[in-house]
Amino acid sequence: MEHPLHFYNTLTRKKERFIPLNPPFAGLYVCGPTVYGDPHLGHARPAIAFDLLFRYLKHLEYKVRYVRNITDVGHLENDADQGEDKIAKKARLEQLEPMEVVQYYTDRYHVCMDLLNVEKPSIEPRASGHIIEQQQMIEQILKNGFAYEVNGSVYFDVEKYNKKYNYGKLSGRVLDDLMTNTRELDGQDEKRFPYDFALWKKANSEHIMRWPSHWSEGFPGWHLECSVMSTKYLGKKFDIHGGGMDLLFPHHECEIAQSVAAQGEDAVRYWMHNNMITINGQKMGKSLGNFITLQELFTGAHKILTQAYSPMTIRFFILQAQYRSTLDFSNDALQASEKGMQRFFAAVKSMNNLVPKETSTVDIKSLRNNCYEALNDDLNSPVVIAHLFDAVKMINSVSAGSESISKNDLDELKRLFRDFFFDILGMKEENASASDNEILKDVVNLMLNLRMEAKAKKDFVTSDKIRDELTKLGFEIRDKKDGFDWTLKS
Ligand code: ZN
């Protein structure tokens, strides 16, 4: 290809040409969710950013093995080495077996990913399914002298590692600076050094997720699973490791240290990080009251939302920013995306009805090349969308009769949308638009309010008729003390 794919490598801090280790194969590992709660906005961005990469690599005819893990053990509260396991805590609060929590939220994550048209990874390994491999890696790190055991727990020796290698090369942090800015945390006295991190933790008596090992009955440290599962499925050296910028330090920094300590060299050749999402200019957080789950976005059921937003609106909105730029969610911005996306789908519809003429007055020659150039420049999806929008304008002009298009050009235009808009950007037509759903909701509520009025007037013939007719249409109506509740059975 004339313009080969380049993307920004966080490790070297520059845009580099992508040259896979064993073409045509390409290995991609992305840190997946910790499954202890409903998938939220923060999950949508990395999923879509790396879905775009996955789709584009396949379009370029690479044979991609895409591994995205499920964290189901070892991720403790506050991402620290102390505190309760996030999944075990949820299990305790809900009185469930931890793996019930894992299954429930993994299923919900998958439903949301399907709705967002995020393709399934090739392999989706779980941390709890790789305890033996994690123990083997700990043994290797211990053997190489970069870890130590205290009271049944094993910690990574950051200071010793840093003497031989460079701890902090991914994040650009310097250990001495880290040291001066670190306050000693309570209960971390087992560690020789505050920045040491757990490879294996001895489980205390209340800890329910535990496995036997040489050192103690316990559980692996959070960072270990990704070092283990990436190299297990992609090889000791593999092409791309992705994840959100929030994982860069300490998670990915620790991953590098573990791999180097175990095998003497880095496992990853290109590190890629997507930027974060803010909401009305603020970081998303439960304490700020702006924490929005994907389900709430799709249904509009959150106090800061003025309407529901369809999954494709969310996808389009995320793709309208390059993955390394910040992205701010607001109702205005989402409504603008919704309108923009609807113009695309309307144009695709009219494109399929265009009648070609002998000659073209529109110039579509450079469009395909422009789209490739934008993608090859660090997956610049907003620029791709801008070029496709030029095509939308052409379609509208031809449709209005002010321009004409030849059969060859029309065929190429159709291929352009198929390749870039549908296959690579991953957009798809949704059955009912969000506004249709809103109208449906209003109409059903209106009918049920009329039924309540009829009941209040003791006009039971009318009230029963409304209920029976709605039931026949598939609605399930439940009367409540102060009103009603309904759902549409699918
Ligand atoms: Zn990870």
DSSP 70-133: BB-SS-BGGGSSSS-BHHHHHHHHHT--HHHHHHHHHHHHHHHHHHTTPPPPSB--BGGGGHHH
> What letter does residue 184 receive in the DSSP assignment?
P
Of 288, 220, 276, the closest CA to residue 247 belongs to 276
CB 304 within 8 A of CB 310: no
Q: Tell me: do 269 and 287 sit in the same domain.
A: no
Structural domain boundaries, residue 454? 448-488
In the structure encoding, which two tokens stand for residue 134, read together?
């994690």
Q: Tell me: do 309 and 413 sit in the same domain.
A: yes
Q: CA 384, 390, 394 angle in degrees (round to 5)?
A: 145
C-alpha of residue 218 to centroid of ligand 1, in Å = 20
Question: Which has more pLDDT, 439 or 6?
Answer: 6
Average pLDDT over residues 141-163: 97
Q: Tell me: do 249 and 123 sit in the same domain.
A: yes
C-alpha of residue 99 to centroid of ligand 1, in Å = 20
The whole-angstrom separation of Cα 67 and Cα 268 is 13
Task: Give the pLDDT score at 315.
Answer: 98
- pLDDT band for position 445 (50/70/90)? confident
C-alpha of residue 474 to centroid of ligand 1, in Å = 44
C-alpha of residue 277 to centroid of ligand 1, in Å = 19
C-alpha of residue 50 to centroid of ligand 1, in Å = 14
CB 270 within 8 A of CB 16: yes
CB 187 within 8 A of CB 201: no
- pLDDT band for position 84 (50/70/90)? confident
C-alpha of residue 70 to centroid of ligand 1, in Å = 9
β-sheet bridge partners, residue 9: 14
Q: Tell me: do 349 and 384 sit in the same domain.
A: yes
Q: Tell me: do 302 and 242 sit in the same domain.
A: no
C-alpha of residue 227 to centroid of ligand 1, in Å = 8
The mean of the pLDDT values for the chain is: 92
C-alpha of residue 324 to centroid of ligand 1, in Å = 18
Share of the chain above pLDDT 90, in %: 75
Tell me, yes or no, whether 234 lies in a domain.
yes
Tell me, yes or no, whether 439 lies in a domain.
no
Tell me, yes or no, whether 414 lies in a domain.
yes
Tell me, yes or no, whether 33 lies in a domain.
yes
| pLDDT surpassing 80 at residue 189 | no
C-alpha of residue 363 to centroid of ligand 1, in Å = 46
Please identify every residue whose CB atom is under 5 Å from ligand 1, which is an ion.
Answer: 31, 226
Task: Give the pLDDT score at 295.
Answer: 93
- pLDDT band for position 188 (50/70/90)? low
| pLDDT surpassing 80 at residue 16 | yes
| pLDDT surpassing 90 at residue 68 | yes
Of 125-134, 254-263, 448-457, the one with minimum mean pLDDT is 448-457
In the structure encoding, which two tokens stand for residue 376, read together?
């090859």
- pLDDT band for position 177 (50/70/90)? confident
Of 58-72, 194-208, 325-339, 439-453, the one with minimum mean pLDDT is 439-453
Task: Give the pLDDT score at 56.
Answer: 98
In the structure encoding, which two tokens stand for residue 291, read together?
């924490």
The whole-angstrom separation of Cα 467 and Cα 428 is 36
The whole-angstrom separation of Cα 38 and Cα 27 is 29
Tell me, yes or no, whether 416 lies in a domain.
yes
Q: Tell me: do 363 and 458 sit in the same domain.
A: no
Task: Give the pLDDT score at 18.
Answer: 97
- DSSP class per residue in 226-281: HHHHHHHHH-SSEEEEEEEGGGIIIIIHHHHHHHHHHHSS-SEEEEEEEPPEEETT
- pLDDT band for position 207 (50/70/90)? confident
CB 430 within 8 A of CB 117: no
Q: Tell me: do 253 and 340 sit in the same domain.
A: no
Q: Tell me: do 318 and 373 sit in the same domain.
A: yes
C-alpha of residue 488 to centroid of ligand 1, in Å = 39
Tell me, yes or no, whether 429 lies in a domain.
no
Q: Tell me: do 455 and 414 sit in the same domain.
A: no
C-alpha of residue 251 to centroid of ligand 1, in Å = 7
C-alpha of residue 338 to centroid of ligand 1, in Å = 33
Average pLDDT over residues 472-484: 84
Of 179-183, 202-206, 324-328, 361-365, the one with minimum mean pLDDT is 179-183
- pLDDT band for position 391 (50/70/90)? very high
Q: Tell me: do 388 and 484 sit in the same domain.
A: no
CATH of the domain at 155: 3.40.50.620
State which of 223, 242, 274 marks the end of a domain: 274
Task: Give the pLDDT score at 433.
Answer: 58
Task: Give the pLDDT score at 79.
Answer: 75
Collapsed DSSP state (helix, strand, coil) of residue 11: coil
- pLDDT band for position 183 (50/70/90)? low
C-alpha of residue 83 to centroid of ligand 1, in Å = 19
Share of the chain above pLDDT 70, in %: 96
Task: Give the pLDDT score at 137.
Answer: 98
Average pLDDT over residues 67-75: 92
Task: Give the pLDDT score at 129.
Answer: 96
Q: Tell me: do 318 and 285 sit in the same domain.
A: yes
Residue located via tokens 């316990």: 218
The whole-model pTM stands at: 0.86
Tell me, yes or no, whether 436 lies in a domain.
no
Collapsed DSSP state (helix, strand, coil) of residue 17: strand
Of 33, 25, 52, the closest CA to residue 376 belongs to 52
C-alpha of residue 188 to centroid of ligand 1, in Å = 23
C-alpha of residue 416 to centroid of ligand 1, in Å = 35
C-alpha of residue 76 to centroid of ligand 1, in Å = 14
Determine phi and psi for 302, rounding to 5 degrees.
Answer: -155, 140
**Tens digit of each residue's pLDDT (9 = 90 or more) over 281-290:** 888 877 777 8
Q: How many separate domains does the chain show?
A: 3
Going by their DSSP bridges, the two strands 483-488 and 475-480 should be labelled as antiparallel
CATH of the domain at 344: 1.10.730
Task: Give the pLDDT score at 181.
Answer: 61
Going by their DSSP bridges, the two strands 277-279 and 282-283 should be labelled as antiparallel
C-alpha of residue 302 to centroid of ligand 1, in Å = 30
213, 262, 434, 456 from 75: Cα distances, Å: 19, 21, 36, 55
| pLDDT surpassing 70 at residue 292 | yes
Of 245, 241, 238, 242, the closest CA to residue 263 belongs to 238
State which of 274, 292, 326 marks the end of a domain: 274
CB 220 within 8 A of CB 226: no
State which of 376, 392, 424 marks the end of a domain: 424
Tell me, yes or no, whether 22 lies in a domain.
yes
Q: Tell me: do 477 and 361 sit in the same domain.
A: no
The whole-angstrom separation of Cα 63 and Cα 15 is 23
